[in-house]
Amino acid sequence: MKKPPFRSYSPNLIQEPAVYRLNEAVMHFGESIKEIINEDFGDGIMSAIDFYCSVDKVKGVDGKERVVVTFDGKYLPYSEQKSEAMVSKLKQRSKISLS
């Protein structure tokens, strides 16, 4: 790797064949992966902040080289956030009741 990776999106990047195929694979299998995550962990998502990605080369059963891409992200369960539980609203209420 000659340049460090970047966290942005360039419309030209998707035209690069390897990036296009990787995007295609994620889009094709994304819904199934999401369902498996929800089955195994419950409702939630994989973090893209606390995240590692590795790329490995293995030999397939036919002896040909294969690419293994591993996404390793922290699981974040969904949590319902109710406005009445907001700290700022609780502080406002206590100020009003003290007045």
Catalytic annotation present for 7:
no
Q: Which of 10, 16, 24, 93 is catalytic?
A: 24
The active-site residue, picked from 47, 66, 93, 94, is 47
Does the active-site annotation cover 8? no
String of b and e for 48-79 (b: at least 16 CB within 10 Å)? eeeeeeeeeeeeeeeeeeeeeeeeeeeeeeee
Annotated catalytic, 47? yes
- Which residues are known catalytic residues? 21, 24, 47
